[in-house]
Chain A
């Protein structure tokens, strides 16, 4: 019958392939061919419902696979079974062709296959195979220094690549190309590390590779937790490779501080979708581990301890039983605490943290209200006074601690920026190096994202407009490769981020010309260098000769300015032509609290951010001047600073109208200083900033409100806005 013709063709093909095998062992290419034929045969037999044939072919398929995988020691036997199997299939095929069925028994044949392949589970098979395939004798023969050196250099490059791709992956969690691009370097590092006998590196790269493989197979989904773990993993791998480098160069650095087991545990947890709980061993377990007691002692001890009324702790009961010495228990206890200290990192939802910080803010205010309550102030009970002052010191400590919870190092932001610079330098064809400094400087977690965008703009500008081309640089006697420096540090209550380039520098004449052309300023205005540099922050200003993809649509810098102002920060520019420019961004450490000086004007109270205050003074009469064209000024140590009468701006009735009766606060803002006239200084306080709400959000001169110690609201002054108001 024609019906089973296709089956017969396949089987006969296999039989003839088999005939040409020389020796009694199956070689890889023939096995490949046979496997493909068996696959097709299984499909065909299934669709034509020749199930005996399907079973035999399935058995042979598995036998053949295992034979290739070296799982079957007796190659001769498997060859024989295969030979028999093909003959059996021919028999079944023939029988179907002639009688449309097969009466024979395939059971005994199937048993002979199972006898060879065994009932091993897949995992065991793979494991056994791996063990066998990794030769026991080490591979010292190829272990030479130049290879190791190459590995270190290439390995570190690969890890950089991993970092970049991880960030891409975070943007596009579904992108398999990204996953592959991360998988591959781990895989390559593992491979070479295996040859070079670098067990730790090899093992760890292998674990990370497996993790990526599971993502690739969609067994795990990409979450920020997963990305964090892989980033940490990459960092650890980097540290391991750097350690190799240091050892090779003969100057071993500090011993590594990475906790590989903890990292492995986190990987395990993420794979099993378990949260990273802190596991602490029980005291009894530690005692058993230390060999102080046996398991039986422990069980007995536990029973005894529970029977006692009141129940005793295990340590106590073991001591009273004489099983352990107090010293052993105290040692074990110390170990237990150390365990907690070693692994005491937990993840907290940022929302919870924000709530906590808000609540602490409220607590601080309430505490201040209690402290300033007239009953408390007038009370003569020493104990109450002492308790109240203790309450306030605890609350401010609590506030400091809770705020610090939200602080993170700026490192990651810098890394992202460095990568961006690298990409930009490639896109523009300019050679640019990056140096970072102060990566450990901490900023409020909530500011990280907000800071990143202005940073991106500035860096783009630095690469596109700042750094000159190689030819220009060589002509100017500078190194061919440009350099961008990113620095972060704390100054006063601010965190400062500096972006410097060693490029062309800002050309004041070009800026001035452009600004006049664009009618942003009047050509007759006399401006200082600083004032001119600041023109680039005006909307609609762009000095780029041509619009590029990277920057140059003239929206960049004014966006930067807005973003920075929104964060209560400021920008300063320092530039020397042909030497380069430095943009420094200063931000308050946190958006939640402000250190303020409380001042009174008439019956109103205002808060001036302490960071802006340079000096407080009561001017003498002769230091006051009213010069035509310059307005009212106060002479502060030889500088004539403009006098701002706060009561005029806020339209209230002051106590004093003469500056020499009042107090002036010297306030610095954006490279200029002015003096604010107030009636009285009431003191200094840390206040929690409260927004004034949507409708008052854009009030100039006021950046927010704060609930003061006595429960009343004070307005927080915004020096920059005040300066602008005073100039109208």
Chain B
């Protein structure tokens, strides 16, 4: 058995995470702690126990145990499991016919895949060896040497830009964005095609200075490299219920955020379109 990674989901027929029919592999663990995170169970890099009181039938099967496998209703469940490259590839290869038919492939997402660079590199190489297209969905908050090593291995980068203002970025995500920006520029210069994914949250990054800076940065990135598309992802307030299910490990705090106004999204969309960007609303 090779190196193991920690993952929290594998989704087949993922049709909104890159070109074609894809399989999305979700890495568990993220260096950011975005206050609006809609996958709070993705943040802690180790398996966690989740409990859903609505599913619990009070049968007592868990009494005296800590192994959620005994729970008949799956009210008590472990989120996250360890797998190695061989095990992941076994599932990935099952979808090969659909990748070929649709021009799809694998999307590595999370959490933050770059937090587990060894197994990520192994997986990207295994896919390349099998002629399978790969996409890396990342915050790009990772040491520059890791980014430099990983990027040439992937077919497409889906890079998130959360907030432009450095202080706000630090406040809302827990990390500085200078590293992210320099890594993004490195991605652009690498020549690997990349797309930007912008989660838009009302009052935080959906208007004014934020969007102006965003456009300026996007222009620089476009000049530097192969920017294929910008995805505007209006925030949706649905992560909260999930967070309340975590009962072990890191339990992220959650704030109150709301979806951006439709006109704010549309005006940004139109502005970007007018500047010749390929922009779409949604994944």
**A interacts with B:** no
